């Protein structure tokens, strides 16, 4: 029983990371039809921003409110980078899909190279508040607290995103734009303004994944964003392009599957996730929820 | 002066020369019907006016709204300038509720005229919380028309509003459009010639990528030979 609890909570922690990466990807693809391979860069910026801030930013540090400030700094960095990427690189390329892919792939490679040039390619020890290292007993299982941090952050982001999409004017525009972008413009709405916001939201969520992923892994490296991005894409495809709720369901499925399979058959978890992706593509190619922004 | 002037409009999409110098005007009052057989470019004409053609479409010609050139202006700006559009497939957002569909059409700082919309289509008020995707075809059409009527318009572009609707609903939609046309001019693409006869004063027929007829709608519809030659049907039938 305790093993099941530990595996479940660890799987949900991993799912939380996948969701944070995938939610932004899903919204960006759903609204703007942009397959953003540079999304992993936002994650790395968040991780490195937090790591840098904990040492250098006045008031920030590796624990307590200092760590919260460091995370906020990392998230702001990721948000700004994402908004700039949309404004400077993506905006001139809307309706030019091949060029978008080339630019975002190039940017992700350049981002990794830039991080390596700045701080080296070796993993860096990551600041982790002490309480995240401590264990909490649940049903006989001793669960590291960082799992609860990840799950709590993902639930908060999910609730915030759904409330934003449901109760704000711009959220309404995004939901409609995911369904039919040209019809939104035919109602007199400049939908491109929403693109920048969606990129910024996606960048913020990815940067938070980077910041909290460092706590989970204990270290960060320039290629960490790319590794998580692969699972982010898988989650988006399984959940349904453009669906935040679908991304949440799919992230939970992928995280739990990976953990339980890896526990029983070491190393087979990733293969099972790819198999799940193949089954979804064959049986329900539109994903769990299809192309709808909220449900 | 016409509210809309289209001059030498040419559209080429993926090598197909759909419109080849289409020229006509839309009167500042009443309904002008845009007619033609399937696939002659009626919808393409509306989309060209609104800037909704596919990215790789080649567009040439001159379009003027109340005398001002509007060719290649962004769609959202044209709509805010008073071009209301109801597309052929209705374009309602199925995942949003009826109320949300209407709220989306509100203009920031504008004064949405819900009384007018609910006066014409009381059904929309009753079904405000229902998802638009679960409405019947007629209700969706009412929502699509109601959405553009929330705001003041200088011209409505309405594409096949009765397509696929039951006869009773066709009559309701036609009655609503008739009421709307008393207030705002309309360029109407319509295959149902009975509806055209009921609503339109003027008619434009496109054939082979060019304008084949402009004039009074009744003159065209009363002249069975001409109707058959241009539209392939007799009066009262569907084109």
Half-sphere exposure of B162 (CA within 13 A, CB side): 25
Q: Are B26 and B3 in contact (CB under 8 A)?
A: yes
Inter-chain CB pairs, A–B, below 8 Å? 58
CATH dotted code for B4-90+152-231:
3.40.50.300
List per-residue pLDDT tens for chain B, 239 residues long.
899 999 999 999 988 999 999 999 999 999 999 999 988 999 999 999 999 998 889 999 999 999 999 998 999 999 999 999 999 999 999 999 999 999 999 988 889 999 999 999 999 999 999 999 999 999 999 999 999 999 999 999 999 999 989 999 999 999 999 999 999 999 999 999 999 999 999 999 999 899 999 999 988 888 777 777 777 765 555 55
Which residue, A216, A164, A191, A220, is CA-closest to A51?
Answer: A220
Which residues 126-155 of A are in CB contact (within 8 Å) with B?
Answer: none
Alpha carbon of A173: minimum distance to chain B alpha carbons (Å): 7
A179–B55 CB contact, under 8 Å: no
B79–A184 CB contact, under 8 Å: no
A121-135 burial string, b = 16+ CB within 10 Å, else e?
eeebebbbbeebeee
Q: Which residues of B touch A295 (CB under 8 A)?
A: 95
Distance CA B141, CA B162 (A): 8
pTM of the predicted model as reported, rounded to 2 decimal places: 0.87
Residue B83, phi then psi, degrees to nearest 5? -95, 105
Instruction: Name the DSSP letter for residue A257.
Output: H
Q: Which residues of B touch A173 (CB under 8 A)?
A: 104
A175–B151 CB contact, under 8 Å: no
Q: Report yes or no: A283 at the B interface, CB cutoff 8 Å.
A: no
Q: What are the residue ranges in chain A where pLDDT is below 70?
A: 290-295
Q: Are A273 and A254 in contact (CB under 8 A)?
A: yes
- Alpha carbon A194 to chain centroid, angstroms: 19
**CB-nearest partner of A172 from B55, B94, B100:** B100
Query: How many angstroms separate the Cα of B158 from the Cα of each of B87, B146, B171, B178, B190?
Result: 6, 12, 16, 13, 8
Using alpha carbons only, give the angle B97, A153, A178 rounded to the nearest 5 degrees: 30
Q: Are A10 and A38 in contact (CB under 8 A)?
A: no
Helix (H) / strand (E) element for B208: namely none
Query: What value of ipTM does the predicted structure carry?
Result: 0.90
Alpha carbon of B80: minimum distance to chain A alpha carbons (Å): 5
Say what the pLDDT of residue A295 is: 42
**CB-nearest partner of B95 from A179, A184, A186:** A179
Q: Which residues of A touch B147 (CB under 8 A)?
A: 187
- Alpha carbon B80 to chain centroid, angstroms: 16
Which residues 188-217 of A are in CB contact (within 8 Å) with B?
Answer: 188-191
Say what the pLDDT of residue B109 is: 83
Q: Report yes or no: A181 at the B interface, CB cutoff 8 Å.
A: no
Q: Which residues of B touch A (CB under 8 A)?
A: 50, 52, 55, 74-76, 79-80, 85, 87, 91, 93-96, 100, 103-105, 107-108, 147, 151
Q: Are B8 and B59 in contact (CB under 8 A)?
A: no
Residues β-bridged to residue B63 = B6
Which residues 86-105 of A are in CB contact (within 8 Å) with B?
Answer: 95
B93–A179 CB contact, under 8 Å: yes
Q: Are B107 and B80 in contact (CB under 8 A)?
A: yes
Distance CA B76, CA B181 (A): 23
Query: Count of H helices and E strands in chain B?
Result: 10, 10
Helix (H) / strand (E) element for A183: namely helix A181-185
DSSP, residue by residue, B72-117? T--HHHHHHTTEEEE-TT----TTSBHHHHHHHHPPTT----HHHH
Alpha carbon of A167: minimum distance to chain B alpha carbons (Å): 10
Say what the pLDDT of residue A33 is: 81
Query: Count of H helices and E strands in chain A?
Result: 12, 4
**CB-nearest partner of B76 from A172, A175, A190:** A190
Alpha carbon of A178: minimum distance to chain B alpha carbons (Å): 10
Query: How many angstroms separate the Cα of A74 from the Cα of each of A43, A54, A67, B79, B215?
Result: 9, 10, 10, 41, 67
Neighbours of B138 (CB within 10 A): 18
User: What residues have CB less than 8 Å from A200, skipping those under 6 apart?
Assistant: A79, A82, A83, A86
B76–A185 CB contact, under 8 Å: yes
Tokens (6 digits) for B210: 């060019």
B103–A191 CB contact, under 8 Å: no
Q: Are B173 and B186 in contact (CB under 8 A)?
A: no
Q: Among all residues of chain B, which has the CA nearest to that of A180?
A: B93
């Amino acid at each position: 029983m305790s093993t099941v609890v530990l595996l479940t909570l660890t799987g949900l922690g991993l799912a939380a990371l996948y969701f944070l990466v995938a939610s932004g990807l899903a919204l960006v693809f759903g609204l703007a039809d942009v397959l953003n391979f540079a999304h992993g860069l936002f994650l790395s910026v968040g991780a490195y921003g937090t790591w840098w801030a904990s040492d250098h930013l006045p008031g920030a540090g590796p624990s307590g409110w200092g760590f919260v400030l460091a995370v906020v700094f990392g998230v702001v960095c990721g948000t700004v980078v994402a908004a700039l990427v949309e404004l400077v690189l993506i905006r001139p390329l809307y309706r030019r899909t091949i060029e978008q892919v080339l630019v975002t792939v190039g940017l992700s490679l350049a981002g990794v190279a830039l991080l390596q040039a700045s701080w080296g390619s070796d993993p860096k020890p990551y600041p982790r508040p002490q309480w995240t290292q401590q264990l909490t007993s649940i049903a006989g299982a001793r669960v590291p607290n960082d799992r609860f941090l990840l799950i709590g952050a993902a639930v908060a982001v999910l609730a915030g995103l759904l409330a934003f999409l449901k109760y704000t004017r711009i959220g309404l525009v995004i939901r409609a734009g995911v369904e039919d972008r040209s019809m939104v413009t035919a109602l007199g709405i400049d939908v491109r303004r929403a693109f920048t916001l969606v990129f910024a939201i996606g960048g913020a969520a990815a940067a938070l994944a980077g910041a909290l992923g460092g706590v989970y892994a204990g270290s960060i490296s320039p290629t960490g964003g790319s590794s998580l991005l692969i699972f982010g894409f898988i989650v988006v495809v399984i959940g349904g392009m453009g669906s935040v709720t679908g991304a949440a369901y799919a992230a939970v499925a992928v995280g739990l599957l990976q953990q339980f399979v890896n526990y029983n058959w070491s190393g087979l978890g990733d293969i099972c996730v790819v198999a799940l992706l193949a089954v979804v593509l064959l049986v329900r190619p539109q994903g769990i929820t299809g192309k709808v922004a909220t449900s | 002066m016409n509210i809309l002037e289209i001059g030498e409009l040419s559209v080429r999409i993926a090598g197909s020369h759909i419109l080849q110098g289409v020229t006509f005007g839309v009167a500042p009052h009443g309904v002008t019907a845009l007619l033609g057989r399937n696939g002659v470019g009626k919808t393409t004409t509306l989309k060209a006016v609104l800037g909704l053609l596919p990215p790789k479409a080649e567009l040439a010609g001159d379009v003027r709204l109340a005398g001002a050139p509007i060719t290649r202006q962004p769609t959202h700006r044209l709509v805010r300038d008073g071009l209301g559009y109801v597309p052929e497939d209705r374009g309602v957002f199925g995942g949003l509720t009826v109320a949300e569909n209407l709220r989306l059409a509100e203009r920031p700082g504008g004064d949405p005229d819900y009384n007018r919309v609910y006066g014409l289509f009381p059904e929309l008020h009753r079904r405000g919380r229902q998802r638009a995707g679960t409405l019947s075809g007629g209700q969706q059409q009412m929502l699509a028309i109601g959405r553009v009527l929330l705001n003041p318009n200088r011209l409505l572009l309405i594409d096949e509003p009765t397509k696929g609707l039951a006869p009773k609903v066709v009559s309701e939609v036609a009655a609503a459009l008739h009421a709307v046309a008393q207030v705002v001019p309309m360029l109407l693409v319509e295959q149902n010639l009975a509806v055209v006869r009921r609503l339109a004063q003027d008619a434009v027929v496109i054939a082979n990528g060019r304008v084949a007829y402009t004039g009074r709608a009744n003159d065209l519809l009363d002249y069975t030979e001409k109707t058959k030659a241009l539209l392939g049907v007799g009066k009262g039938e569907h084109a």
